Chain A
Amino acid sequence: MSKIVAKTGNEAMAEAMRQINPDVVAAYPITPATEIVMIFAKYVADGLVDTNFVAVESEHSAMSACVGASAAGVRVMTGTSSQGLCLMYEILPIAAALRLPIVMCDVNRAISGPINIHCDHSDTMAARDFGWLQIFSENSQEAYDSLIQAIRIAEDPRVHLPTMVTTDGFIISHCLDKIEILDDKDVTAFIGQDRKANNRLLDLKNPTSVGLLDLQDYYFEHRVPVAQAMKDSKKVILEVADEFAKKFGRKYGLIEEYKLADAEVAIVALGSTCGTAKVVIDELRAKGVKAGMLKIRVFRPFPAEEIVKALSNVKALAVLDRSDTWSAQGGQVFTEIRSAFYEAAKKPKITNFIYGLGGREIDLPQLHTVFESLKNIDKQPVVQYLGVRE
């Protein structure tokens, strides 16, 4: 039987990990993700899971051990944030290139410097080009549901790519939320008892060499399939989401449209901000403003076609980025959306707001300001910073 409980995002992710019961977890403490592995370590200590937990001496070693364990053919998970994710960067593309379905709980946190422990998306966005699937969560329930789905997605033979499921540091990770926890048996049945290994270093009878030197004559051919798998993963994400919806009732997509059907002004956002934006949109709708939102749940693979289709009738669009590319061309979400619209016959005017860096609060009045600016979008700069003191 499923049950309704109050859980923080970290507790919800740890609970999903208990139910997933991975074979190996290798992790290192970092705020605000530490709690996930702390709770999980207690599950190990209490014998509630069969996991071999490797309490490594750094995140670099965490990801390295994950690669080793996943290459050995077992189900592997980890969790981290910010600097920890940064320390993993070197190994993240290796995990993808070796087609290892490692699943990571990633709690979004600003990257140094200056050092800061609060939410923005700079850590995760900087990892967008490493061949990992990236799923964002609006709340604890989504984080919990997506983590379970991520196992299926990553291990699907059409994908075989590592996957990170993110929550927003403190905003989701540390705030209590009402969520539905599925029955243990249902989770096991949904993900399958064991990983169907695509890569078994421990197959002693058929020795394989993994991670070879790949020069001009083969490297390219080994990288391009990652792009293809990323492309193919869209279908798998939707199939898994459909099956999840049929079994458990909650429906997920690559994107979520909120009152977009007739919207004239809209925003695009990721993560916890979407919850706040829904309130603002309801307020605007009550005043007769045709406002809407497109929430990106899956940032990798990037749902370009779906986004273009969903937003083509919008007149003015503000893309909200909780990170910056520091290119003077806007945030990661903005640049990708603008690029996605290049060939579109019908497209909105698009502006970019970079907000909430280092955990700076995003509140209702600020989001009203964003919608207000869309009234005269032609006068807006391409990129502006929202909520920063001059």
Chain B
Amino acid sequence: MASLKELSTRKDPLTGGHRMCPGCGAPIVVRQILMASKDPVVVVSATGCLEVSTTIFPYSAWTVPFLHNAFENAGATMSGVEAAYQNLKKKGKMTEHVNFVAFGGDGGTYDIGLQSLSGAMERGHDMLYVCYNNEAYMNTGVQRSGATPMGANTTTEPAGKVLQGKREWRKDLTEIMVAHSIPYVAQGIIGNWSDLTRKAEKAFSIRGPKFINVLQPCRLGWGYKPDSTLELARRAYETCVWPVYEVENGVYKISKPKEKKPVVEYLKGQDRFRHLFKPGNEKLIADIQAEVDRRWNLLLAKEATK
């Protein structure tokens, strides 16, 4: 990987003074991914927190070419940009290599934008799609998405007197992307910049469709102090709630925590899970632990079968 000294000389894709919340992980995702590119980048963003907070006209925090079209179509929009680039390159009107990076939140990626993403990946466009996954529709006020974990309190599946937050397990988008047989799929966290930047660097070295799913704690939707964003991301990794791994041409490589911590270590710091600690909800926590274990073991088995 490029040295930290070298990375520090690269152009910052976002200016300071954008309007993301204090402690927001989304701009960290953008910086950790884009600083891995030694070549020019062109960015497409789905509608969402990142887009609305960085592009309030007449200001834009983006120092690189940036396009926002709509919510569910970052994959398709980037397909068009990339097709235009390939055409210009074919005709000799552009010569430099460009890394095309689409950013979408989990709502714009797991849910409403899944088809657009799937199509773009299947067609083999040379692009990296990054999901900055904060596990709910944060921009519209913390509504549940297909990425929201079981038991989490959201405004459309709230914890109440009868129900205890989201009743369903989250969808495994990363594995859906693996099933597309694209050259590179990865899952990462913002709490380990060198790992995520290395993954992005690897993605940029590969031609064709790439996908990285980054867990991005949201201090507003998850309910924690703004200074613990990175720490919380690391706890997701240490508890195996959010495995950090990559799949390169079908081969799994998992970053295993030194010691697999119990899920309560991750759940307890967050308001969205607070109701799980009420008497009577012990089984829910046990269920979450069992599901995390099941998925973790499944992943280990995938790595073992080479």
Contacts and interface: CB of A to CB of B under 8 A. Distances in A.
Interface of A: 23-24, 26, 50-52, 54-58, 60-62, 64-74, 76, 90-91, 94, 201-204, 207-215, 218
Interface of B: 40, 42, 44, 51-52, 55-58, 60, 62-70, 72-73, 75-88, 90-91, 94, 96, 98, 115-116, 118-120, 122-123
Given A50-B91, A57-B118, A65 B76 contact: yes
Contacts of B56: 212-213, 215
Contacts of A210: 66-68
A56 B76 contact: yes
Contacts of B75: 61
A56 B42 CA distance: 21
Nearest to B119: A57
A72 B84 contact: yes
Contact of A211 (B67, B86, B87, B88): B67
B69 A211 contact: yes
B79 A72 contact: no
A58 B58 CA distance: 33
B62 to A, nearest CB: 5
Contacts of A58: 115-116, 119
The 4 A-B pairs of least Cβ separation, nearest first, read: A68-B80, A57-B119, A65-B80, A61-B76
Contacts of A62: 76
Nearest to B102: A68
A213 B55 CA distance: 6
Given A64-B77, A70-B80, 18 more contacts: A61-B119, A64-B79, A65-B76, A65-B79, A67-B69, A68-B76, A68-B82, A70-B84, A71-B81, A74-B88, A90-B70, A91-B69, A204-B40, A207-B62, A209-B65, A210-B67, A211-B69, A213-B51
Contact of B84 (A52, A60, A90): A52
B57 A69 contact: no
A58 B120 CA distance: 11
Contact of B67 (A52, A66, A68): A68
A262 B88 CA distance: 55
Nearest to B19: A213
Contacts of A65: 76-77, 79-80, 83
B14 to A, nearest CB: 11
A256 to B, nearest CB: 36
A75 to B, nearest CB: 9
Contact of A204 (B44, B57, B96, B116): B96
A57 B120 CA distance: 8
Contacts of A67: 69, 77, 80
B79 A56 contact: yes
A71 B65 CA distance: 11
A323 B55 CA distance: 40
Given A68-B69, A90-B70, A73 B57 contact: no
Contacts of B119: 56-58, 61
Contacts of A70: 80, 84
Contacts of B90: 50, 52
B84 A57 contact: no
A203 B42 CA distance: 10
Nearest to A200: B65
Contacts of B69: 64, 67-68, 91, 94, 211
A24 B83 contact: yes
19 contacts: A52-B84, A52-B86, A58-B119, A60-B73, A64-B77, A64-B79, A65-B80, A68-B44, A68-B69, A68-B82, A68-B84, A201-B81, A202-B81, A207-B64, A209-B62, A211-B55, A212-B56, A213-B55, A214-B57
B116 A202 contact: no
A214 B68 CA distance: 12
Contacts of B116: 57-58, 60-61, 64
Nearest to A217: B57
A54 B72 CA distance: 18
B122 A57 contact: yes
Contacts of A94: 69-70
Contacts of A55: 123
Nearest to A95: B69
Contacts of B120: 61
Given A58-B119, A65-B77, A212-B55, A71 B87 contact: no
A57 B115 contact: yes
A24 B68 contact: no
A94 B66 CA distance: 15
A104 B258 CA distance: 57
A52 to B, nearest CB: 4
Contacts of B51: 213
Contact of A54 (B52, B68, B80, B85): B80
A57 B91 CA distance: 26
Contact of B80 (A60, A69, A90, A213): A69
A209 B88 contact: no
A23 B84 contact: yes
A54 B83 contact: yes
Contact of A73 (B83, B84, B115, B123): B84
A207 B65 CA distance: 4
B80 A64 contact: yes
A90 B77 CA distance: 13
Q: Which of B65, B68, B80 has the most CB of A within 10 A?
A: B80
A72 B70 contact: no
A50 B63 contact: no
A23 B87 CA distance: 6
A67 B82 CA distance: 12
Given A52-B87, A67-B69, A202-B42, A61 B57 contact: no
Nearest to A204: B40
Contacts of B82: 68
A91 B118 contact: no
Contacts of A215: 56-57
A68 B84 CA distance: 8
B124 to A, nearest CB: 11
B161 to A, nearest CB: 38
Contacts of A66: 80
Contacts of B66: 207-210
A67 B55 CA distance: 18
Given A50-B90, A204-B98, A64 B83 contact: no
A64 B73 contact: yes
A24 B62 CA distance: 26
